[in-house]
Amino acid sequence: MATSKQFKVIGVSTLNGKAKVRYANDMTRVKILIKNGHTDVELFELPESMTKEAALAYVSEQSLFTIPSDTAEVSAEDVASVAAE
């Protein structure tokens, strides 16, 4: 995941039985996810814009939600290295 794109919102939703981490720039994303059939939608506003790696590290530090084990976007080592900075 070699992108510098930043997001203000992170969360998780379930679609067709598969939970996945979601990133957005505002909370209106909830409406779109629900409209498209997602369930168990949980989105959280971040304290500042963050990259995906930094946002996942923040989620881990704050225990906002359980990151799905099959999140292939970022490895556990990447999250740990960002959290250690």
Share of the chain above pLDDT 90, in %: 51
Q: Is pLDDT at 2 greater than 90 in this prediction?
A: no
Residue 63, classed as helix, strand or coil, is: coil
- Rounded to two decimals, what is the model's pTM? 0.73
| Cβ(69)–Cβ(48) below 8 Å | no
63-76, pLDDT tens digit by residue?
A: 878 877 766 554 44
pLDDT bin (cut points 50, 70, 90) of residue 83 is very low
Higher-confidence residue: 19 or 72? 19
State how far the Cα of 64 lies from the Cα of 43, in Å rounded to an integer: 9
Distance of CA 70 to the CA centre of its chain: 13
